[in-house]
């Protein structure tokens, strides 16, 4: 194209025009969805609940008189007692339950967040590539997913633990490595339908490379299903982590997580009920709120699909 | 038409599709979507391709620019066979051949603004151009196709069908191509908007000297824009010639049927034509 070097006189006038232009702001699909989400009362309430839980878990411990591993020798196995600073009582070792619940929530949230990020990243890229290229590439990539599905993940995590020792990082990797499989399948299915849309063909006709098409045209249009599925993955991961910790494969003492706390509280629920009620209440509230957020997001992102 | 060499020469292009005949080992049936089609296209000329749904118009247009793989034949772009080009040459070719699609809204990425959509081909073919210049080009194109430049940050769903098609045309024009393939570019628009878009295309063609490959099922529309018309029937060329001649003195029965099917806004004339259609049908039945 002649004159593309910036010396074009006509172009300069357009550039000046652009500088003085006051363009109308467009309303993107994301903004639309946010507006619909804000109108959904259950979702907004759930978001507030989750934010409060997150803040409490990360900031709360600094305001407590007792640390999560500190032992109060004069208050062992005691019910809630505000005068001694034990608002949720103490466990068999004299450690403050409220401090432990907050620390456990913190750990569960970190595991959930890291594992979700891992599974979304791997799943989206893997699924989009398999779906876009199709044919033999797709068949091989999805058979690998099928094989990994067939592996029981408990076995997978146990093998990891035995080989590398107990380490929270391994827990993230283990859970993330399992959770991405479903994400990859969902993304592949969506990609198959998006790649038949005319705007993808338009991009091909104007010479865009496969990678440009995948990352600029397909992945952004996957936002809806991916965001929805990710919010529903978080509770799943929290439960998986709780389950592994319950089996003693998860987080190590004196660190704790919601699952570890519940597993410690369950056998003594009759004599020391406060050891079970605190962590159980937090876990249930968190899961319920996340599910409502997921539902709200689905309604907001897919207004046709109700 | 000047007597220079045509910019696109299509020779004996065929496209076959394999259709699984059912079952895992049932083998494939072969569908001949386009059979042995040849035509020439000159600089600045418009060739209309008409035919009913499913007759292979879109398949043909995509095969000659290698968006889908042709089974045989050659498609010479300025003397070089597109069907044998390397991926790198193809990317360069895409700069010279652009496409406008049928569904105006579906052909625009819903997550990009009008400005980003129009700028995309420029970004692919001239990555060295800086942002200010790129946006200046976008503004230039938007004004050329009759869109107000302050809509640059709006998203496709905020535009009407006609406006979306203008965005599609601006996107096709921004790399200054030599050929634009319009695949049913106006079929999805209502009649008054159709006229606007067609006149816009003709004006732009005059201004930039672009050739058009104009696909439509409506022969009245094609007659208005094209100098020459090619009629396709089940993947085969049944007639090709100057548009006035094809429309006024059709030689093939299928072309006659196609022309007789265009409605006329005059009840008396329409009655007479209904008679004509009946007669054609009776003759066809008698022949069979």
Query: What would the pLDDT profile of B69-97 be if each residue is shown by its tens digit?
Result: 888 888 888 888 888 888 888 888 888 89
For chain A, give the secondary structure using H, E and C: CCCCCCCCHHHHHHHHHHHHCCCCCCCCHHHHHHHHHHHCHHHHHHHHHHHHHHHHHHHHHHHCCCCCCCECCCCCCCCCEHHHCECCCECCCCEEHHHHHHHHHHHHHHHHHHHHHHHHHHHHHHHHHHHHHCHHHHHHHHHHHHHHHHCCHHHHHHHHHHHHCCCHHHHHHHHHHHHHHHHHHHHHHHHHHHCCCHHHHHHHHCCCCHHHHHHHHHHHHHHHHHHHHHHHHHHHHHHHHHHHHHCCCCCCCCCCCHHHHHHHHHHHCCCCCHHHHHHHHHHHHHHHHHHHHHHHHHHHHCCCCC
Q: Encode pLDDT of B238-266 as tens digits.
A: 888 888 888 888 888 888 888 877 777 78
Confidence of residue B1 (pLDDT cuts 50, 70, 90): very low
Cα gap A98→A274, rounded to integer Å? 10
Q: Is A239 exposed, middle or buried (0-12, 13-18, 19+ CB in 10 A)?
A: middle
Residue with tokens 């022309």: B259
Query: Closest by alpha carbon to A192, among A203, A184, A202?
Result: A184
Q: Strand locations in chain B, DSSP E?
A: 8-20, 28-41, 46-50, 72-77, 80-81, 97-100, 179-183, 211-216, 228-233, 236-242
Distance from CA of B87 to the nearest CA of A (A): 10
* pLDDT score recorded for residue B20: 72
Q: Encode pLDDT of B7-65 as tens digits.
A: 888 888 888 888 776 666 666 778 888 888 888 888 888 999 988 887 888 888 888 88
* pLDDT score recorded for residue B82: 87
> Which chain B residues are Cβ-neighbours of A28 within 8 angstroms?
111, 113, 155
Cα gap A122→A177, rounded to integer Å? 9
Q: ipTM score here?
A: 0.82
What average pLDDT does this structure show over A198-227? 87
Q: What single-letter DSSP state applies at residue B226?
A: -
Measured between its terminal Cα atoms, the distance across chain A in Å is 49
Q: How many Cβ atoms from other residues are within 10 Å of residue A170's Cβ?
A: 17
Distance from CA of B156 to the nearest CA of A (A): 9
Sign of dihedral through CA atoms A126, A132, A137, A140?
positive
> Which chain A residues are Cβ-neighbours of B180 within 8 angstroms?
none
Tokens of B267: 């009840």
Nearest residue, CB atoms, A208 vs list B111, B124, B132: B124
Cβ atoms B86, B258 nearer than 8 A: no
* pLDDT score recorded for residue A303: 59
CA contacts within 13 A on the Cβ side of B76: 13
Q: Which of residues 12-71 of B touch A (CB under 8 A)?
A: 65, 67
Using DSSP's 3-state secondary structure scheme, residue B36 falls into strand
Q: Encode pLDDT of B209-227 as tens digits.
A: 889 999 988 888 888 888 9
> Which chain B residues are Cβ-neighbours of A10 within 8 angstroms?
140
Using the Cβ of A284 and the Cβ atoms of chain B, whether some distance falls under 8 Å is answered with no
Tell me which of A15 and A290 has the higher pLDDT.
Answer: A290
Residue with tokens 């079929």: B187
- Give the torsion through C-alpha atoms of A98, A103, A108, A114, to 10 deg: 150
Residue with tokens 């302050």: B150
Q: Is B90 exposed, middle or buried (0-12, 13-18, 19+ CB in 10 A)?
A: middle
> Which chain B residues are Cβ-neighbours of A203 within 8 angstroms?
109, 120
Q: Is the pTM of this model over 0.90?
A: no
Residue with tokens 């629920």: A269
A14–B102: do the CB atoms touch at under 8 Å? no
Q: Encode pLDDT of A129-168 as tens digits.
A: 999 998 889 999 999 999 888 888 778 777 877 887 777 7
> Which chain A residues are Cβ-neighbours of B125 within 8 angstroms?
207
Using the Cβ of B90 and the Cβ atoms of chain A, whether some distance falls under 8 Å is answered with yes
B150–A197: do the CB atoms touch at under 8 Å? no
Using the Cβ of B152 and the Cβ atoms of chain A, whether some distance falls under 8 Å is answered with yes
Cα gap B44→B204, rounded to integer Å? 11
User: Phi first, then psi: what are they for B52, rounded to 5°?
Assistant: -80, 175
* pLDDT score recorded for residue B128: 84
B139–A14: do the CB atoms touch at under 8 Å? yes
Locate the chain A residue with the closest alpha carbon to B114: A26
The most distant pair of C-alpha atoms in chain B lies apart, rounded to whole Å, by 68
Cα gap A140→A210, rounded to integer Å? 19
Q: Which of residues 159-198 of A touch B (CB under 8 A)?
A: 197-198
* pLDDT of B146 strictly over 60: yes
Q: Where are the domains of chain B?
A: 8-251, 252-288
Cβ atoms A32, A73 nearer than 8 A: no
* pLDDT score recorded for residue A1: 43
What average pLDDT does this structure show over A203-222? 88
A206–B109: do the CB atoms touch at under 8 Å? no
User: Phi first, then psi: what are they for A204, rounded to 5°?
Assistant: -65, -40
Cα gap B250→B267, rounded to integer Å? 24
Report H helices in B145-231: 161-173, 191-208, 219-225
* pLDDT of A46 strictly over 80: yes
Query: Closest by alpha carbon to A171, among A115, A216, A109?
Result: A115
A206–B155: do the CB atoms touch at under 8 Å? no
Task: Provide the CATH number for the domain formed by B8-251 in this structure.
Answer: 3.40.50.300
Cα gap A297→B181, rounded to integer Å? 40
Task: Provide the CATH number for the domain formed by A37-301 in this structure.
Answer: 1.10.3720.10
Nearest residue, CB atoms, B111 vs list A22, A204, A220: A220
Q: How many Cβ atoms from other residues are within 10 Å of residue B78's Cβ?
A: 14
Distance from CA of A18 to the nearest CA of B (A): 6
């Amino acid at each position: 194209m002649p004159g593309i070097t910036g010396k074009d006189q006509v172009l300069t006038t357009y550039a000046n025009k652009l500088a003085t232009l006051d363009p109308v702001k467009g309303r993107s699909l994301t903004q639309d969805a946010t507006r619909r989400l804000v109108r959904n009362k259950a979702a907004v309430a759930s978001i507030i609940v989750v934010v409060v839980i997150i803040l409490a878990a990360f900031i709360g411990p600094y305001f407590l008189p007792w640390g999560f591993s500190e032992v109060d020798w004069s208050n062992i196995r005691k019910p809630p007692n505000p005068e001694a600073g034990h608002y949720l009582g103490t466990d068999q070792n004299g450690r403050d339950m409220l401090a432990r619940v907050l620390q456990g929530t913190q750990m569960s949230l970190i595991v959930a967040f890291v594992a979700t990020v891992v599974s979304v990243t791997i799943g989206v890229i893997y699924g989009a590539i398999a779906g876009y290229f199709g044919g033999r590439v797709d068949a091989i990539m999805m058979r690998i997913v099928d094989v990994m599905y067939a592996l029981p993940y408990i076995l997978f995590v146990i093998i990891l633990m035995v080989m590398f020792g107990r380490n929270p990082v391994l827990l993230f990797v283990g859970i993330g490595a399992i959770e991405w499989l479903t994400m990859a399948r969902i993304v592949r299915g969506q990609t198959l339908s998006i790649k038949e849309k005319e705007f993808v063909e338009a991009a091909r006709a104007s010479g865009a490379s496969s990678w440009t098409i995948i990352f600029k045209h397909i992945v952004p249009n996957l936002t809806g299903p991916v965001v929805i599925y990710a919010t529903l993955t978080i509770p799943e991961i929290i439960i998986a982590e709780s389950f592994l910790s319950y089996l003693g494969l998860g987080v190590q003492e004196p660190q704790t997580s919601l699952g570890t706390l519940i597993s410690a509280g369950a056998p003594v629920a009759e004599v020391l009920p406060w050891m079970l009620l605190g962590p159980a209440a937090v876990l249930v509230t968190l899961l319920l709120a996340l599910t409502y957020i997921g539902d709200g997001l689905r309604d907001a992102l897919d207004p046709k699909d109700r | 038409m000047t007597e220079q060499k045509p910019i696109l020469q299509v020779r004996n292009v065929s496209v076959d599709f394999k259709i699984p005949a059912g079952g895992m080992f049932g083998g494939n049936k072969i569908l001949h979507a386009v059979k042995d089609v040849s035509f020439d296209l000159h600089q600045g000329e418009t060739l209309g391709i008409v035919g009913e749904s499913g007759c292979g118009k879109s398949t043909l247009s995509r095969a000659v620019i290698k968006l889908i793989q042709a089974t045989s034949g050659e498609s010479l772009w300025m003397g070089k066979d597109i069907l044998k080009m390397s991926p790198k040459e193809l990317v360069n070719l895409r700069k010279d051949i652009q496409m406008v699609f049928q569904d105006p809204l579906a052909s625009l990425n819903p997550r990009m603004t009008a400005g980003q959509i129009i700028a995309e081909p420029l970004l692919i073919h001239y990555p060295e151009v800086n942002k200010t210049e790129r946006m200046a080009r976008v503004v230039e194109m938007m004004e050329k196709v009759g869109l107000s430049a302050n809509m640059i940050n709006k998203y496709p769903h905020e535009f009407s069908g006609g406006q979306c098609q203008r965005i599609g045309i601006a996107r096709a024009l921004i790399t200054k191509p030599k050929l634009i393939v319009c695949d049913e570019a106006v079929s999805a628009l209502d009649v008054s908007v159709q006229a606007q878009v067609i006149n816009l295309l003709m004006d732009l063609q005059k201004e930039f000297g672009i050739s058009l490959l104009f696909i439509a099922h409506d022969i009245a529309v094609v007659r208005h824009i094209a100098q020459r018309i090619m009629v396709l029937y089940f993947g085969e060329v049944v007639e090709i010639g100057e548009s006035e001649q094809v429309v006024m003195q059709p030689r093939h029965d299928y072309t006659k049927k196609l022309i007789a099917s265009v409605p006329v806004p005059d009840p008396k004339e329409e009655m007479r034509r209904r008679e004509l259609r009946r007669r054609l049908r009776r003759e066809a039945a008698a022949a069979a």
